């Protein structure tokens, strides 16, 4: 059933209990409503709407809004623990896991859930008030990174046990990376495409990119031997909200928990830095400053939680995860964009840049990722607990 047919089922009887729960009242009556599509960082098969309307409660007019997230199976997962399992976020909410998160991070309340079909889930969520849509400052990024550190740190020191639900992602980064195998196989034969050459201007850069793929087992082995924490795993600007008028310890709200599961310390920080580059929310010129500020704040957050370990362990988790996730792990979308004029047109419409400008940005991101891969190799050599097999 397509979204249009699904949305026809939304009526006043369905909305009233959801909106009453959102507003904490038993007496509100809905007058009208409309569905507004939201553009976000959602994955394939995900559609998000803000449902906005007016109502009457106690003789007063009331404005209200809630979020509807419709998730369809992407057709590529087989097990609940696979990297992109379509039901994971609904299962996470149903378990109550998000009601007892450590200090540093919270999630929107789930107002209701439905399963219209075996391959589709609906989530009705609280609409989070947040600060303006203006770009975050480096200070904002530091605040967010420190909160992510506090969140992860609670699992390092045993304040919170790692959840063991069978539907949490397992070896997420391995699954994310291995899905790129077909694209990587094509890579040597398409190096002369104009935008590919623009993105990889030297044969040495292309070789270094493929080297990460060839050494992926070493990177994954090192990450699996690091201390493990619960990761949201998609914590970047589009999925994070800084609520006004809240204290630092409960100000940060994360949406989109579809990738959540155990991961290496430091892994959580990767999308905060690099997804902002990929989604044109951070200028590449400040990437180095952003990474330094965010990493230092993340370690401070771990310290706040009571962890006193070697920060080089955290740096390895960050660098090795970044090398895989935003190196070969991005091969499918990157190569599709760099070789397909239709994809280039869509990207130009979304981000307001030319295909050449987008390719230059991807090239800068890959250059940084290659440097992080080298840093990870050096750290693997000096940290004995991560030595390659």
The whole-number pLDDT of residue 43 equals: 58
23-60 pLDDT per residue, tens: 999 999 999 999 999 865 445 678 999 999 999 999 99
The whole-number pLDDT of residue 4 equals: 63
- The answer to the question of residue 40 being in a domain is yes
What residues make up the domain containing 28?
A: 3-126
Average pLDDT over residues 117-135: 84
Work out the percent of the chain whose per-residue pLDDT is above 90.
Answer: 80
Q: How confident is the model at residue 132 (pLDDT cuts 50, 70, 90)?
A: low
- The answer to the question of residue 327 being in a domain is yes
Tell me which of 60, 92, 126 is where a domain ends: 126
Q: How confident is the model at residue 248 (pLDDT cuts 50, 70, 90)?
A: low
Q: 266 and 153: one domain?
A: yes
Q: 150 and 93: one domain?
A: no
Show the tokens assigned to 332. 């499918």
Q: 218 and 149: one domain?
A: yes
The whole-number pLDDT of residue 388 equals: 46
Domain count for the chain = 2
133-188 pLDDT per residue, tens: 678 999 999 999 999 999 999 999 999 999 999 999 999 999 999 999 999 999 99
- The answer to the question of residue 163 being in a domain is yes
Average pLDDT over residues 353-382: 96
- The answer to the question of residue 132 being in a domain is no
**CA 371 to the chain's CA centroid:** 22
C-alpha closest to that of 147 among 324, 277, 268: 268
208-226 pLDDT per residue, tens: 999 999 999 999 999 999 9
The whole-number pLDDT of residue 1 equals: 44
The whole-number pLDDT of residue 39 equals: 67
**CA 300 to the chain's CA centroid:** 22
Q: How confident is the model at residue 389 (pLDDT cuts 50, 70, 90)?
A: very low
Q: Compute φ and ψ for 324, nearest 5 degrees.
A: -80, -50
Q: 234 and 305: one domain?
A: yes
Q: What CATH number is given to the structural domain containing 232? A: 3.90.1200.10
Q: 326 and 246: one domain?
A: yes
Q: 102 and 74: one domain?
A: yes
Mean pLDDT value across the chain: 92
Q: 110 and 172: one domain?
A: no
Q: 241 and 346: one domain?
A: yes
Average pLDDT over residues 91-112: 94
pLDDT at residue 387 above 90? no
The whole-number pLDDT of residue 120 equals: 86
- The answer to the question of residue 178 being in a domain is yes
Rounded CA-CA distance 139/367 in Å is 25
Work out the percent of the chain whose per-residue pLDDT is above 70.
Answer: 92
Q: 94 and 199: one domain?
A: no
- The answer to the question of residue 310 being in a domain is yes
Q: 248 and 109: one domain?
A: no
Tell me which of 86, 104, 126 is where a domain ends: 126
Tell me which of 74, 94, 126 is where a domain ends: 126
The whole-number pLDDT of residue 44 equals: 61
264-293 pLDDT per residue, tens: 999 999 999 999 999 999 999 999 999 999
Q: What CATH number is given to the structural domain containing 103? A: 3.30.200
- The answer to the question of residue 133 being in a domain is no
Query: Three-state secondary structure along the chain?
Result: CCHHHHHCCCCHHHHHHHHHHHHCCCCCEEEEEEEEECCCCCCCCEEEEEEEEEEEECCEEEEEEEEEEEEECCCCCCCCCCCCCCCHHHHHHHHCHHHHCCCCCECCCEEEEEEEECCEEEEEEECCCCCCCCCCCHHHHHHHHHHHHHHHHHHHCCCCCCCCCCCCCCCHHHHHHHCCHHHHHHHHHHCCCHHHHHHCCCHHHHHHHHHHHHCHHHHHHHHHCCCEEEECCCCCHHHEEECCCCCHHHCEEECCCCCCEEEECCHHHHHHHHHHHHCCCCCHHHHHHHHHHHHHHHHHHHHHCCCCCCHHHHHHHHHHHHHHHCCHHHHHHHHHHHHCHHHHHHHHHHHCCCHHHHHHHHHHHHHHHHHHHHHHHHHHHHCHHHCCC
Q: How confident is the model at residue 2 (pLDDT cuts 50, 70, 90)?
A: low
pLDDT at residue 356 above 70? yes
Q: Which of 93-97, 99-103, 325-329, 366-370 has the lowest mean pLDDT?
A: 99-103
Q: 162 and 269: one domain?
A: yes
The whole-number pLDDT of residue 243 equals: 84
Q: 210 and 290: one domain?
A: yes
- The answer to the question of residue 353 being in a domain is yes
pLDDT at residue 126 above 50? yes
pLDDT at residue 78 above 80? no
């Amino acid at each position: 059933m397509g979204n249009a047919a699904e949305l026809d089922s939304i009526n006043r009887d369905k909305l009233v209990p959801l909106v009453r729960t959102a507003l904490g009242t038993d007496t509100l009556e809905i007058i009208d409503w409309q569905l507004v599509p939201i553009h976000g960082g959602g994955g394939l098969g995900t559609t998000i709407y803000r449902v906005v309307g007016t109502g009457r409660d106690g003789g007063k007019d009331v404005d209200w809004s809630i979020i509807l997230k419709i998730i369809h199976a992407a057709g590529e997962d087989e097990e609940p623990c696979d990297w992109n399992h379509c039901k994971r976020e609904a299962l996470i909410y149903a378990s109550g896991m998000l009601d007892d998160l450590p200090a540093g991070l919270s999630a929107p309340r789930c107002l209701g859930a439905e399963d219209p079909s075996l391959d589709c889930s609906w989530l009705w969520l609280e609409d989070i008030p947040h600060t303006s849509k203006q770009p975050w400052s480096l200070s904002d990024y530091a605040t967010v990174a420190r909160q992510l550190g506090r969140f992860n740190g609670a699992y390092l020191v045993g304040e919170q046990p790692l959840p063991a639900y069978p539907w949490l992602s397992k070896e997420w980064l391995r699954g994310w990376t291995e899905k790129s195998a077909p694209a990587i196989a094509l890579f040597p034969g398409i190096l002369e495409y104009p935008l590919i050459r623009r993105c990889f201007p030297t044969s040495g850069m292309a070789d270094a990119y493929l080297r990460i793929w060839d050494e992926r087992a070493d990177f994954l082995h090192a990450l699996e031997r690091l201390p493990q924490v619960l990761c949201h795993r998609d914590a970047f600007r589009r999925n994070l909200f800084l609520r006004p008028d809240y204290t630092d310890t409960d100000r940060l709200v994360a949406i989109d928990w579809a990738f959540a599961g155990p991961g290496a310390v430091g892994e959580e920080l990767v999308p905060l830095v690099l997804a902002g580059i990929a989604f044109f929310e951070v200028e590449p010129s400040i990437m180095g400053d952003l990474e330094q500020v965010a990493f230092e704040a993340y370690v401070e957050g771990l310290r706040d939680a009571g962890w006193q370990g070697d920060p080089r362990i955290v740096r390895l988790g960050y660098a090795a995860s970044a090398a895989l996730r935003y190196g070969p792990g991005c091969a499918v979308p990157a190569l599709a964009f760099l070789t397909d004029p239709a994809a280039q047109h869509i990207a130009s419409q979304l981000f307001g840049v030319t295909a050449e400008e987008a390719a230059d940005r991807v090239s800068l991101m890959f250059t940084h990722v290659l440097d992080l891969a080298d840093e990870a190799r050096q750290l693997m050599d000096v940290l004995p607990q991560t030595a390659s097999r």
